[in-house]
Structure 1
């Protein structure tokens, strides 16, 4: 394909600013999830942080196309699937284990007593295998009740499967046409639901398909059409620009339009700028840490949140108490994510890559 050189993955340019932005998006999700636990209308505080998921999907489409478009034929579908499973699934398993432990040993709640051993085992196995099983009513029938963020990994896997089987073979004009259709689908969801925040529950399951289809294909288009905007902004200004999207004020009348505009135009623009920017040495270190911690933080952070909700409802802490409890919990989650990366994910992935030929 003329838009990509057939370089080995290890020798290709690394978009370190995009890695850093992934970490900003992950942190925004964590903050939003805390806020929605104790503020009835979280859109009044950080209105669109849940759109970080759409940024993830868009970035994934860009990165997958960049990394594999020119290698799929040589690599093969089986090797591609193995590479993606090794990259993503160890932390899916860890997130589920943490979620089960937090569910059973929650000091502020005992909802697990209403579910027998068989149900808990089924919840655990379906979560590890990324099979939606929305049976926990106390958790708003999340598709993955033990580890809520896993719903995005479910759709990420679907996108990866379709990429390996079909999308990588298609010409960029066809990808652009599919992206246009997906945009229409996203607008339909936004208009009918009033937002594009769905995909996580049994009641909005198929909204996840609209979100991943739109953003993943748009990310592919950014790469396929080489929409790299040369600039010298670097990481920090782009991080601020990305964060601005999450704080766009909520307007009930026009929200169905605001969110698709951010997803369809603004996030691909941020990725195009991130792919074309230069970065300072100091910011490179920040980007490296931010990028490394982003996925572990995202996929393991939720085990604390249900316990926090039970704590909030039982203890009813003051705002002054929450002002230090929440930052401490977020720092704790970042620490857990870092330890998970260094002590579990990286060693396990190295072992799997070495022993699974």
Structure 2
């Protein structure tokens, strides 16, 4: 019988809560994105950096959960545990994306009405495995590696980070890991400041350019999270969840800088946020203690729904975006519906969590881990 005590290690409740805050900011970012004429006019301008924040969190939490357990944990068992944690909601995200595919505006997504059901179902099944599809198999027109559920790209890179950690990085000393972090930070900085768009946005397409951006966004955040877990010391910050929530909201909502003339300035902001500010927020959150039962309940709720929100909300965004573009609507005209999207996304996430994700993970754990 395998050791089930590996599952009993306590969480960082503030980090769980911050993950939920960032996930909700992602929804808000995507809603405003539907109304933006370009990245220059986007409100909640840097909401895309939530993905990089998730990567930092992931590296930190995985290091905390597994670094001291490899003497009793096999690589196979590690991958089983990661599949149990991540894959059920990947499947649900793909299924929801398929269910809502034909409800999206044809003016925004002209390819949709030409896609036969069998082809959509094939893409859904591939999406359930998280295997990326090439642009030649795109059925939407956005060249996404997961056309039914765009955010699947970040889960693809999440798995890449997990594989690198389990097979290679867990063996690294602090010195070697530090060298890797510095090198990947330079790679990230160069990618951001030389971007033709003036930002680090990208990673969702199976092309050389997009893969370059995706790996730049994965490597430094994930590795710095691992390093941070090894060297972090308590900061004793009072009201840590509140202050860290305000900090992550500020980073993600910060206005675009540099305009269309000095694009590199915004790239510098992106790189600085990922390299400096996001790790500091994770460190502060991990070093703080919760104050009060209500805050603890909020953090638990936000942490529980954070991943389901992130991986299931985007099919709603496709519909909202298609509707906004087709009718040329402004946010002042659609804000009640935008609020409805947020409430619906949270409701779907919670329903998926309680009626699907938790039962499925419990069943998979019993079948895969305890036998």
TM band (smaller chain)? over 0.9
Whether the 8 Å contact between 1:35 and 1:42 is mirrored in structure 2 is: no
Question: 2: distance between equivalents of 1:137 and 1:83?
Answer: 32
SS at match of 2:132: coil
Cα distance in 1 for partners of 2:46, 2:212 equals 20
Per the normalisation by structure 1, the TM-score is: 0.93
Q: Is the 8 A contact 1:72 1:164 kept in 2?
A: no
Q: CA deviation at 1:207?
A: 0.8
SS in structure 1 opposite 2:190?
helix
Q: Does residue 245 of structure 1 match 2:242?
A: no
- Structure 1 residue 136, shift from structure 2 partner: 3.1
Q: After the TM superposition, which of the residue ranges 225-234 and 336-345 deviates more from structure 2?
A: 225-234
Say if 2:115 and 2:139, in contact at 8 Å, map to a contact too.
Answer: no
The gaps in structure 1 that reach 5 residues or longer are: 1-6
Q: Aligned runs of 1:1-357 on 2, under 5 Å?
A: 8-44=5-41, 45-106=43-104, 111-133=111-133, 134=135, 135-136=137-138, 138-193=140-195, 194-203=198-207, 204-252=210-258, 253=262, 254-280=265-291, 281-317=293-329, 319-356=331-368, 357=371
Q: Secondary structure at the match of 1:80?
A: helix
Q: 1:3 corresponds to which residue? A: none
* Mapped contact 1:296–1:341 kept (Cα < 8 A): yes
Shift of 1:206: 2.4
Verify the 8 A CA contact 2:35 2:330 in the aligned structure 1.
no
2:32·2:331 contact (CA, 8 Å) conserved in 1? no
Bigger shift: residues 60-69 or 197-206:
197-206
Moved more, 248-257 or 178-187: 248-257
Deviation at 1:119, TM superposition (A): 2.9
**Cα contact 1:136–1:142 (8 A) shared by 2:** yes
By how many angstroms is 1:24 displaced?
A: 0.7
Task: Return the offset for 1:8.
Answer: 4.6
Deviates more, 1:58-67 or 1:112-121: 112-121
Shift of 1:137: 6.7
Bigger shift: 221-230 or 23-32? 221-230
Q: CA deviation at 1:306?
A: 1.3
Deviation, 1:189, is: 1.0
Q: Secondary structure at the match of 1:29?
A: helix
Q: CA deviation at 1:173?
A: 1.1
Moved more, 22-31 or 35-44: 35-44
> Does the 8 Å contact 2:55/2:222 carry over to 1?
yes
Aligned-residue offset at 1:47: 1.4
C-alpha distance in structure 2 between counterparts of 1:10 and 1:89, whole Å: 17
| Alignment check: 8 A CA contact 2:145 2:205 kept | yes
Q: Secondary structure at the match of 1:104?
A: helix
Q: Deviations over 1:120-151 (max 9, x none)?
A: 23312221111222343744211211000000
Determine the C-alpha separation between the residues in 2 that align with 1:111 and 1:103.
11
Q: Is the 8 A contact 1:72 1:80 kept in 2?
A: no
**Offset, 1:43:** 4.9
How far off is 1:107 after superposition?
7.2
**Count of residue pairs brought into register by the alignment:** 351
Q: Report how far residue 105 of structure 1 moved.
A: 4.2
Q: Which shifted more, 20-29 or 103-112?
A: 103-112
